[in-house]
Amino acid sequence: MKVFDDDPARRWLFCLTHPDDEISICAWIRRLTKNGNEVFMSWTHSNDVREREGRAAALVLGVPQRNLYFFGAQDGQACDHIPQLLPEFEKMMLAVRPDRVACGAFEQGHIDHDTTNFLVNHSFDGPVLEIPFYHTYLTRFQTLNRFSQGRGQEIIELDRDERRLKTMVARQYPSQNIWSVLLWYEIWQRARLRPIELTRTERMRVQTHHAFDRPSHPAPLARRVQRSPHWHRWVRALAAVRASGVLNETERTARLG
């Protein structure tokens, strides 16, 4: 399956978590809208300020306002509301009927990112495309725009205008000061002799890890994640999902482990 599929007949849905996550994939979104594809975007977390900023970013990307969904989950609390959020995601999937759905990778960068990935996988009946936002929540300085395992990823190179677009989209979020964060990340990486230019590439892959009770990382890193308080909280959230009865037996066996 081609990940960066530019067939104009494809309907794309990007399920983001926080308004500003789309910065990681905004050049591809803009390519799609310029290509004539029908594009939809959703955000699991939102509030009045961040919704306004998300709508402004969508305008820059050429995504119609009618194609935007905001679910209003509280930042850092989404995993506690999966039983309530899942029916809303199912309604969105029925309304949009997407051919391609992309979301942040299940990589333990933010527990809300993992929640959105879980919701997408349990509401969309098809292959899910993963975008690397950042990982992991074990360290203060996380790895941005890279998977912990690059196997299966596709990479597109961005031209000068697309790199400028990333800057423009980032500046739609003054409440988050995201652009200065990205700038300092690049400076820090250069100081470590590991230069990484965040605006030059975008990446996606088909998700193959669906065991949500296990971290999606190489074994040494996975074991460290499993010892963390964030992971313990995630496991408790999965137990609550099981107990809620919101998933059928097939889904519990295939997706929860």
- 5 in any annotated domain: no
DSSP-assigned letters across all residues of 97-144: --SEEEEE-SSSS-HHHHHHHHHHHTT--SPEEEE--EE-TTSSSPEE
Per-residue pLDDT of the chain (257 residues; tens, 9 = 90+): 999 999 999 999 999 999 999 999 999 999 999 999 999 999 999 999 999 999 999 999 999 999 999 999 999 999 999 999 999 999 999 999 999 999 999 999 999 999 999 999 999 999 999 999 999 999 887 888 899 999 999 999 999 999 899 889 988 988 876 655 555 444 444 444 454 566 789 999 999 999 999 999 999 999 999 999 999 999 999 999 999 999 864 354 444 44
DSSP state of 74: P
Give pLDDT, residue 180.
Answer: 57
152 inside domain: yes
Task: For residue 90, give its domain range.
Answer: 11-256
pLDDT at 196: 52
Asked whether residue 208 is assigned to any structural domain, the reply reads: yes
What pLDDT score does 176 carry? 79
R_g of the chain, CA atoms, integer Å? 17
User: CATH number for the domain including 174?
Assistant: 3.40.50.10320
Domain membership flag for residue 37 = yes
Count of domains for the chain:
1
For the question of whether the overall pTM of this predicted structure is more than 0.85, the answer is: yes
Instruction: Please check whether residue 72 lies inside any domain of the structure.
Output: yes
User: Quick one: pLDDT at residue 57?
Assistant: 97
Has residue 2 been placed in a domain?
A: no
